[in-house]
Amino acid sequence: MRNVTRLSEIGEFPLIARLVRALPTEDGVTVGPGDDCAVVECDGATLLLTCDAAIEGIHFRREWAGAEAIGWKSGAAALSDIAAMGGRPRFMLITLACPPEEDVAFLEALYHGLAAVAARCGAVIVGGDTARSPSGVMVDIMIVGEAAGPRILRRTGARPGNLLAVTGRPGQSAAALIALQRGMDPGELAQAHFHPVPRILEGQWLAAREGVHAMIDLSDGLLQDAGHLAEAAWMAVDVDPDRIPISDAMRRLVEAAGEDPAAVALAGGEDYELILAVDPADFDAMQGAFQDRFEVPLTAVGNFTAEWQGARVRGAAPEKAGYDHFKG
């Protein structure tokens, strides 16, 4: 009898490693599986390709979010991958699966949300597909982007001694989710959860700075995504939770729910901020220029080291790093 390895035993990222390790490639593929986007050269153009799915009951629940907000957030998740590499989104393809009994007005509003976040980021919806699902709505989004400058930032590239920096205030989306799960009003944090803004211009600005060595978007949790940067460079990252910028609104809400704000900021995902590895010699000037240009902060919250591997919190292994689609 064949010994069965269940997906719940290995988790999302080991699964991806198994699926892609034997895939063929060709000379035009500059970056294949394993980064935020694939990068391909086509007739002299550098294209960025990515896709992202949103499934009812997993990524969204109608009792918490309206159709427009569901569409916006689904699109933002995919667009954020382009931001993570410093690219410019151009075209979106949408696959929609739903039961025949679905309310057409709900689907129209969902598409309004998709179109609105695409327009906010400079992209347009150019086509897609529709299919029947046995239950619930599923939206799958493919984006074609392009290089915004001579440099594409990858997850690889972090160096020992680099600072770990993050845009914005991590954990706000997770804090709003905690409130929704417990029947509390998320207040002003609802905007961060339902209408996150992909950091497209911020990503382009950071990719143009030579002192930025690697970047990723914050989708699965600050600690876990920082760990991806460290893993890609075969080193480690040590995060100091005391340095994470936590808003007063988030602190009040999370503490009212009986949770630790720093722990939520470390493990909470779906912020769609940017995490980067930065040369410490460049950081102070970069931080000041960034905050003069944009409305969100840029904060150093940790350090990269070659002394060990993995992601730690003040040198200690964490109890929880972030979200995994297949592990409990």
How does pLDDT run across 86-108, given as a tens digit for each residue?
Answer: 999 999 999 999 999 999 999 99
Averaged confidence pLDDT in the chain:
94
pLDDT of 126-147, one tens digit each? 999 999 999 999 999 999 999 9
Confidence label for 10 from pLDDT (cuts 50, 70 and 90): confident
Integer-rounded Cα radius of gyration of the chain? 19
Asked, for residue 327, whether it belongs to a domain, the answer is: no
Q: Output the pLDDT for position 24.
A: 82
- One domain, residues 174 and 123: no
pLDDT at 13 over 80: no
pLDDT of 59-79, one tens digit each? 999 999 999 999 999 999 999
Q: Output the pLDDT for position 35.
A: 86
pLDDT at 231 over 70: yes
- One domain, residues 228 and 112: no
Asked, for residue 2, whether it belongs to a domain, the answer is: no
Burial of 44 (0-12, 13-18, 19+ CB in 10 A): exposed
- One domain, residues 200 and 103: no
Q: Output the pLDDT for position 263.
A: 95
- One domain, residues 183 and 136: no
Asked, for residue 46, whether it belongs to a domain, the answer is: yes
- One domain, residues 118 and 59: yes
Residue of 111, 4, 119 lying closest to 54 (CA atoms): 111
Beta strands in 243-320 (DSSP E): 274-278, 298-305, 310-313
Query: How large a percentage of the chain has pLDDT more than 90?
Result: 83
pLDDT of 278-290, one tens digit each? 999 999 999 999 9
Helix (H, G, I), strand (E, B) or coil at 254: helix
Which one of 147, 177, 205 terminates a domain? Answer: 147
User: How far lies 236's CA from each of 116, 179, 305, 324, in Å?
Assistant: 39, 33, 5, 20
Reported as half-sphere exposure (CB side, CA atoms, 13 A), residue 134 has a value of 0
Give the residues across from 166 on adjacent strands: 275, 299
> Which DSSP symbol is given to 5?
P
- Section 195-215 average pLDDT: 98
Asked, for residue 324, whether it belongs to a domain, the answer is: no
- Section 21-31 average pLDDT: 86
- One domain, residues 140 and 168: no
Find the CATH number of the domain harbouring 246.
3.90.650.10
pLDDT of 142-166, one tens digit each? 999 999 999 999 999 999 999 999 9
pLDDT of 34-47, one tens digit each? 889 999 998 889 99
Count structural domains, the chain. Answer: 2
- One domain, residues 142 and 168: no
Residue of 317, 313, 161, 156 lying closest to 242 (CA atoms): 313
Q: Output the pLDDT for position 320.
A: 65
Q: What would the two tokens of residue 283 be? A: 């950081």
Confidence label for 52 from pLDDT (cuts 50, 70 and 90): very high
Find the CATH number of the domain harbouring 68.
3.30.1330.10
Confidence label for 322 from pLDDT (cuts 50, 70 and 90): low
Euclidean distance between CA atoms 84 and 48, whole angstroms: 11
Domain residues for the domain of 25 are 7-147
- One domain, residues 45 and 82: yes
- One domain, residues 116 and 45: yes
- One domain, residues 119 and 39: yes
pLDDT at 328 over 60: no
Euclidean distance between CA atoms 327 and 320, whole angstroms: 12
Asked, for residue 326, whether it belongs to a domain, the answer is: no
Q: Output the pLDDT for position 115.
A: 98
Which one of 91, 121, 147 terminates a domain? Answer: 147
Asked, for residue 154, whether it belongs to a domain, the answer is: no
Residue of 268, 171, 272 lying closest to 221 (CA atoms): 268
- One domain, residues 69 and 179: no
Confidence label for 11 from pLDDT (cuts 50, 70 and 90): confident
Q: Output the pLDDT for position 323.
A: 59
- One domain, residues 102 and 228: no
Asked, for residue 240, whether it belongs to a domain, the answer is: yes
pLDDT at 1 over 60: no
Asked, for residue 328, whether it belongs to a domain, the answer is: no
Q: What would the two tokens of residue 112 be? A: 């309004």
Which one of 123, 147, 171 terminates a domain? Answer: 147
